[in-house]
Structure 1
Amino acid sequence: MKPGPYPAAFAVESRRRTWAEILLVLGLSLGASAAYSVVSIINRTTRDEALADQSTTINQSLSDRPWFDLIYQLMGIFFDLVPVALVAFLLWQAARPHLSRLGIDGARPGRDTLQGLGLALAIGIPGIGVYLAGRALGITVNVNPAGLDAYWWTIPVLLLSALRAGVTEEVIVIGYLFARLRDLGWGPWSIILASATLRGTYHLYQGFGAFIGNFAMGVLFGWLYTRTGRVLPLVIAHVVIDSAIFVGYPWAAATFPALFTTPS
Structure 2
Amino acid sequence: MAFIGGGNMASAILGGLIAQGMAPAQIIVIDPGADQRAHLRATYGVRTADDVTAGCAEADTVVLAVKPQVIAEVAERVGGALKGKLLVSIAAGVPIARLEALFGPIAIVRTMPNTPALLGLGATGMFANDCVDAAQRARAKTIVEAFGLCVDLPREDLLDAVTAVSGSGPAYFYLLIEEMIRAGASLGFTREDATIMTLQTALGAASMAAQGDVPPEVLRRRVTSPNGTTHAAITPMQKDGFADMVLRAMTAFRDKAVELGRAE
TM-score, normalised via structure 2 length: 0.23
TM-score, with structure 1 as normaliser: 0.23
Greater Cα radius of gyration, structure 1 or 2: 2
Identify, as 1 or 2, the structure richer in helix. 1
